[in-house]
Structure 1
Amino acid sequence: MRFHIISAFLLTIAFSANAWSATYNTRDYRNHGDWASLELYLGNERTFRAANSTSYSDTNFTVDYYPGLCDSPVFTSRVEMEERYSSTGDFGYSQADFRVDTRDIQNGLVKMEVERGDSGLYLNYVIPDKQALSRDMRNGQVLRIRITREDAETMFLEFSLRGSMAAMSRAASKCYEVSQGPGRFFDDSGSSSSSPENFF
């Protein structure tokens, strides 16, 4: 139980690089092996997350689904740097390559950012075909990322995908439910048992 609480906390503080200044509430946390799924909310804002926070003690990989944009999830990592930054800044874009097992390699980008008062280095991934990567992740064993920078050594990351299918499917499903709203219960193609003219 303690492990689950700690994991939920780590997933919360790594909400996204665009939400550093806010602390989000969490609920509906569920463990799926090396992955977990949960909801983050602040007022009327809601985001559904699938994440691996177990492959490394200081780095996670998250997939966030935003209502209304469920088909275009946001892929992010947070690296704990142990020392809080004194100013906000970014290091621009670098080459990032993504590969699940021995499937096709996707060549994308990553933007590295830091925020004043935060000890995390945020990696915001730009992926050409999000649907293809999501599909590979759901059915693969290991996600590997290679980050190439001109002014630093090449960085390699590996994340287990055990439980990714359950976590991503659950987060995406909840995102679609919220996006459709209560009107989805009246979208049946079946015929109504009565019509207004029958009342008169």
Structure 2
Amino acid sequence: MQLTSRFYTALAWATLGTTLLLSLPSAHAVSYNVTDDQRHDHWQSMVLTLGDERHFRAVETHSYADATLSVNATPGVCDLPWLEMRVTLGEIQGESRTVNLVPARLRVDERERVYSVAEFITERADDGFYVHFYLDDIHQLIADMGDGEQIFLGFDQGERDPWYMTFSLEGAGQALTRMQRQCKHAS
């Protein structure tokens, strides 16, 4: 894997730290059909389908050319949305695995920091690197995102300086509301 940005450098150091070789079901490497796509400033809301499977997504693709931040929900469990970041890597990954678990901090604008654990994942046959966040109160974070301007993500790297990313929240309120409404309507 060629390291060409700060993200890749952070990934390399995280990988050298604690590498966990856990097999995961390959849910992300699957290509879903995107329908009902609607733009909301820097965010979009959409429906992802594959056969009878359906998910609803609000996603920010504006801040980085190689990274997205999304909130996702599934009918029947709409009250359990999840936050995910995806970064495009330079090559298709050969295996599905958890690369690392690291402490993470999230903050919307100048609000109180939310402490979390971030799971770094690669998926076989996918050129993406995924970050899943374990959050105690995702509903408050989503509410804050809905009326915020920026979300800041920070990842601890042991003795090295933390690695940060910032995503725009312009249009997030509309995208998140539409995603939640569509999920509940489909349940």
Q: Normalising by structure 1, report the TM-score.
A: 0.77
Does the Cα contact within 8 Å between 2:87 and 2:128 map onto a contact in 1?
yes
Structure with higher Rg: it is 1
1:57 corresponds to: 65
* Identical aligned residues as a percent: 31
Residues 138-157 of structure 1 aligned to structure 2 (within 5 Å): 138-150=146-158, 153-157=161-165
1:39: which partner in 2? 47
Residue in 1 that maps onto 2:3: none
Which one is further off, 151-160 or 72-81?
151-160
Matched, 1:160 2:172: no
Give the structure 2 partner of residue 177 of structure 1: 185
- In terms of fraction of residues, the more helix-rich structure is 1
Residue 107 (structure 2) aligns with: 99
| 1:85 CA drift (Å) | 2.0
Deviation per residue, 1:167-192 (Å, 9 max, x gap): 0000100000011xxxxxxxxxxxxx
Select 2:87's aligned residue among 55, 61, 79.
79
For 1:110 and 1:98, the matched residues in 2 are separated by 10
The alpha-carbon distance between structure 1 residues 137 and 76, as it changes in their structure 2 partners (threshold 3 A), is: same
Unmatched runs of 5 consecutive residues or more in structure 2: 1-24
CA offset digits 1:70-126 (Å, max 9, x no partner): 122110011111122222221231101110001111100110011222221110111
8 A Cα contact 2:26 2:123, kept in partner: no
* Alpha-carbon shift at residue 26 of structure 1 (Å): 1.1
Give the number of the structure with larger relative contact order, counting CA–CA contacts within 8 Å between residues 6 or more apart. 2
Report SS of the residue matched to 1:148: strand
Structure 1, unaligned stretches of length 5 or more? 1-16, 180-200
Separation in structure 2 between the aligned mates of residue 118 and residue 153 of structure 1, nearest angstrom: 29
State the 4+ residue runs in structure 1 displaced beyond 4 angstroms.
none
Give yes or no for the alignment of 1:69 onto 2:77. Answer: yes
Q: For the residues of structure 2 that align with 1:74 and 1:178, how far apart are their CA atoms?
A: 18
CA 166–34 in structure 1, closer or farther in 2 if over 3 Å, else same = same
Aligned residue runs from structure 1 range 179-194, under 5 A: 179=187
Counterpart AA for 1:94: V
Matched letter for residue 68 of structure 1? G
3-state SS, counterpart of residue 154 of structure 1: strand
RMSD value, Cα:
1.5
Please give the TM-score of this superposition, normalised by the length of structure 2: 0.83
Task: Name the residue aligned to 2:32.
Answer: 24
Displacement of 1:164: 0.3
